Amino acid sequence: MATAIIASVSRSCYNWIVKVTKEQASKNREALIRAASKLFRERGIDGVGVAEISKEAGLTHGALYAQFSSKEELAAEALKDGLERAFESAWRRAEESPDAVGSYLDTYLSKTHRDQMARGCAIAASGSELGRQDKATSCVFADGLKRTIAAFEPALGKSPLKASQRERALAIAASEIGALVVARALAKGAPKLSEEVLTATRRVLGEIAGEKQ
């Protein structure tokens, strides 16, 4: 009887320890993804090392490599997380407006977004770096862009342009990213030109989207 009781207690303790370990591992993974997402947007993927990511997350190198086999794997996960959070938040607010695409562009092509890289679009923050990353990261980028295009396409208004709905959605998605990258590059050296890029792009993309003037 005593042996059975001890065995039962031991199993309960073991199950509790395993549960706690899994929960902690999940929390560690989330902390690393959030830390990497923030730092990558602030300083670029190539500008941040695993030591800095681990420190930002309050963890060790060992904890990072227990979750991710490489920095590239973490970069893909961080990009995915950043894209999902940023788009869902911005598009959810935009959908409340009669002109969802226009409302979204107002937020995306704003000085506030330009100046807050750590909390903004992960694609624009990483810019041309994404072309130098591995296939997994490229696939995450592709999925994020496809999601944006899929949201834009049915929300576009009528336009005199000969381009199809999909072509217009593609042009808007690619142009907004490029304009933000350019505006950020100009912000310190030519702030007025930076603002002009945002304003001009917003207006032209609004016309492409079929906004009523």
Give the CA radius of gyration of the chain: 22
Task: Tell me the C-alpha distance between 54 and 68, whole Å.
Answer: 12
Give the mean model confidence (pLDDT) for residues 176-183.
Answer: 95
Choice among 47-61, 158-172, 193-207 with the minimum mean pLDDT: 47-61
Fold of the 2-209 domain? Tetracycline Repressor; domain 2 (1.10.357)
pLDDT band at 8 (very low <50, low <70, confident <90, very high): very low
Locate the domains of the chain by residue range. 2-209
Distances, alpha carbon 117 to alpha carbons 39, 58, 210, in Å? 10, 22, 29
Say what the pLDDT of residue 9 is: 42
* H or E, element range at 105: helix 100-108
Under a CB-based contact definition with an 8 Å cutoff, are residues 75 and 45 in contact? yes
pLDDT band at 10 (very low <50, low <70, confident <90, very high): low
Cβ-based neighbours of 179, under 8 Å, separated by 6 or more: 109, 197, 198, 201
Note the pLDDT tens digit of each residue in 90-149.
777 777 778 889 999 999 999 999 998 888 888 888 777 788 888 888 898 898 889 889
DSSP string, 143-175: HHHHHHHHHHHHH----SSSS-HHHHHHHHHHH
Using the predicted structure, report yes or no on whether residue 7 has a pLDDT greater than 60. no
Cβ-based neighbours of 39, under 8 Å, separated by 6 or more: 48, 52, 53, 56
Say what the pLDDT of residue 45 is: 86
Burial letters 153-174, b for 16+ CB under 10 A, else e: bebbeeeeeeeeeeebbbbbbe
Give the mean model confidence (pLDDT) for residues 170-178.
Answer: 95
| Count, residues in the chain | 213
Cβ-based neighbours of 69, under 8 Å, separated by 6 or more: none
Note the pLDDT tens digit of each residue in 48-98.
899 999 899 888 888 888 888 888 898 889 888 888 877 777 777 777 778
Note the pLDDT tens digit of each residue in 144-155.
889 889 889 999
Residue 123's identity, in one-letter code, is I
Using the predicted structure, report yes or no on whether residue 200 has a pLDDT greater than 90. yes
Say what the pLDDT of residue 3 is: 52
